[in-house]
């Protein structure tokens, strides 16, 4: 099955009637509407130029043979809203990294005045996610869209890492942590994560919805991240209170 659709708004998002949320779709990536709108709204935030994005993509593709499909390791929103044409192959495990809300989000699910949190990978442990495949003939075009989606400000380090799947090891493109980026925070205490996630909201919607979507998407593949599950439980408890 080819995936390229966006995630529908939750009831929580609809409740923020005073704010018009941005929806990441294939069309909005094709015309670069998301970056342009965010750049107009947050002029003080440094964004990568289209040329810088192309240079970053070219550097990454220099390690690709060009004749084989490209595999991507999805560990967050790429699972439930890739917004590109790709095929989910199934679960994979990345060793040496674990999933963590460890970056500031100042123009996604937060603002410069009240930053939210973004998901990245930190060293140590392992991370279960989904392996996506892009056919070789479409790889350059689809990855150009993916760079517009993931490399808006250069907050990730794209690299090729081995991922273990039931069928064997696969070299995957992974959006890894970038400790030199201004948005990088590192590991936060659990209580601080909950406090930020429960209140932050930005152009992409409430920060806590990111947790809900990701936990649901992992569950659909019979995967579980214990910290993400704990965050969801704490956020739901605050809602009910």
Mind telling me the catalytic residues? 150
C-alpha 78/C-alpha 129 separation (Å) is 10
Rounded distance, CA 156 to CA 184, Å?
Answer: 9
Two tokens, residue 23:
């929806």
pTM listed for this prediction? 0.89
Structure tokens at 27: 């069309």
Q: Which of 162, 160, 157, 79 is nearest to 121 (CA)?
A: 157
Confidence of residue 6 (pLDDT cuts 50, 70, 90): very low
Q: What is the pLDDT of residue 19?
A: 57
pLDDT, one tens digit per residue, over 160-181 is 999 999 999 999 999 999 999 9
Residue 82: both structure tokens together = 């890739």
d(CA 41, CA 38): 5
- Note whether 150 and 60 are within 8 A (CB): no
């Amino acid at each position: 099955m080819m995936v390229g659709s966006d995630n529908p708004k939750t009831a929580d998002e609809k409740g923020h009637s005073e704010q018009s949320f941005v929806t990441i779709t294939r069309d909005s990536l094709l015309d670069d509407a998301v970056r342009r709108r965010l750049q107009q709204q947050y002029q003080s935030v440094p964004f990568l130029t289209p040329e810088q994005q192309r240079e970053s993509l070219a550097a990454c593709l220099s390690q690709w043979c060009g004749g084989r499909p490209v595999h991507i390791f999805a560990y967050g929103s790429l699972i439930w809203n890739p917004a590109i044409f790709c095929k989910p192959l199934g679960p994979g495990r990345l060793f040496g990294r674990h999933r963590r809300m460890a970056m500031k989000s100042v123009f996604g699910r937060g603002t410069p005045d009240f930053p939210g949190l973004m998901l990245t990978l930190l060293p140590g442990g392992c991370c279960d996610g989904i392996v996506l495949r892009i056919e070789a003939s479409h790889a350059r075009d689809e990855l150009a869209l993916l760079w517009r989606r993931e490399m808006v400000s250069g907050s990730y380090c794209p690299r090729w890492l081995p991922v273990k799947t039931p069928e064997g090891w696969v070299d995957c493109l992974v959006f890894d942590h970038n400790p030199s980026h201004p948005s990088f925070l590192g590991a936060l205490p659990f209580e601080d994560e909950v406090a930020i996630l429960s209140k932050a909201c930005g152009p992409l919607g409430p920060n806590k919805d990111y947790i809900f979507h990701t936990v649901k998407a992992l569950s659909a593949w019979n995967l579980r991240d214990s910290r993400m599950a704990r965050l969801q439980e704490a956020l739901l408890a605050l809602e009910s209170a």
